[in-house]
Amino acid sequence: MQLQQTTNAVTRSGGFPEAKFKIAANAKAFHILSSKLYTDTRLAIVRELSTNAWDAQVEAGTQDRPFEVHLPNSFAPFFSIRDFGTGLSPDQVEHIYTTYFASSRSESNEFVGALGLGSKSPFAYTDQFTITSYWNGNMYTYSAFKNEQGEPSIAFLSTQESSEPNGVEIRINIQEGDAYQFQAAAQRVYRFFPTRPKIVGAKVEFPSVEPRFKGKGYELYDCGMHGAFLTSRVNVVMGNICYPVAMQHFRHILGDNAAMVLFVDIGQVEFAASREELHYSEDTKANIQRLIDAASSEVTKTVEDDLGKHICLVQKIKALRFYRSVISFQHATSTIKTETADYSLKRVDLRKNKIFIGHDRWQTELNPNADTHYVIVECDVEGELKQSDKNKLRHFLNSQRGVFYLATIKDRAKFEETFGGVTATLSSLPEPPRAARRVSAGERSYIKSARRGNFRSDCWRSIAEAEIDVKDAIAVPRKGLMCKIGGKEYDGEVAITIARQMGYERVYGIAEAYYDRIRTELGLPDLEEEARQYAQDAVDALDIYQLARYHHGFDSYSTPNSFVEWIVGLSPVCDDLAKFSKSTDLGNTTRGMITMFGIKVAEAPNFKDVFDATYPLLSHVNLQHVHKEDVVEYIKLKGQQ
- Quickly list DSSP for 274-301: TSSSEE--HHHHHHHHHHHHHHHHHHHH
Residue 525 CA to residue 473 CA, distance in Å, equals 8
Three-point CA angle 571, 618, 544, nearest 5°: 50
Residue 554 CA to residue 557 CA, distance in Å, equals 9
Query: What pLDDT is attached to residue 442?
Result: 34
Nearest to 388 by CA among 347, 443, 358, 429: 429
3-state helix, strand, coil in the chain (%, to 5): 35, 20, 40
Residue 250 CA to residue 296 CA, distance in Å, equals 13
Q: Is the dihedral of CA 96, 100, 101, 105 positive or negative?
A: positive
Nearest to 234 by CA among 178, 318, 161, 294: 294
User: Are residues 288 and 234 in contact, defined by beta-carbon separation less than 8 angstroms?
Assistant: yes
Query: What pLDDT is attached to residue 71?
Result: 94
Per this entry, what is the length of the chain? 641
Nearest to 347 by CA among 367, 326, 324: 367
Residue 129 CA to residue 514 CA, distance in Å, equals 86
Collect the ranges in the chain with pLDDT lower than 50: 1-3, 5-6, 106-109, 111, 113-114, 226, 435-444, 454-457
Please tell me what DSSP assigns to residue 436: G
Three-point CA angle 578, 77, 121, nearest 5°: 145
pLDDT tens track for 8-19 = 555 555 565 665
Query: What pLDDT is attached to residue 444?
Result: 43
Q: Is 520 exposed, middle or buried (0-12, 13-18, 19+ CB in 10 A)?
A: exposed
Residue 249 CA to residue 285 CA, distance in Å, equals 7
Residue 216 CA to residue 239 CA, distance in Å, equals 17
Query: What pLDDT is attached to residue 601?
Result: 94
Query: What pLDDT is attached to residue 454?
Result: 47
User: Are residues 619 and 559 in contact, defined by beta-carbon separation less than 8 angstroms?
Assistant: no
Q: Is the dihedral of CA 81, 86, 89, 94 positive or negative?
A: negative
User: Are residues 252 and 292 in contact, defined by beta-carbon separation less than 8 angstroms?
Assistant: yes
Domains of the chain (ranges plus CATH)? 27-200 (3.30.565.10), 213-307 (no CATH), 335-432 (no CATH), 436-531 (no CATH), 542-640 (no CATH)
The pTM is what?
Answer: 0.56
User: Are residues 304 and 316 in contact, defined by beta-carbon separation less than 8 angstroms?
Assistant: no
Query: What pLDDT is attached to residue 109?
Result: 42
Kindly report the backbone phi and psi dihedral angles of residue 460, in degrees, each rounded to the nearest multiple of 5, phi listed first. -95, 130
What Cα–Cα distance (Å) separates residue 256 from each residue in 58, 353, 364, 542? 39, 40, 28, 51
Alpha helices in 330-450 (DSSP H): 387-398, 412-419
Nearest to 249 by CA among 280, 218, 290: 280
User: Are residues 407 and 441 in contact, defined by beta-carbon separation less than 8 angstroms?
Assistant: no
Residue 452 CA to residue 236 CA, distance in Å, equals 51
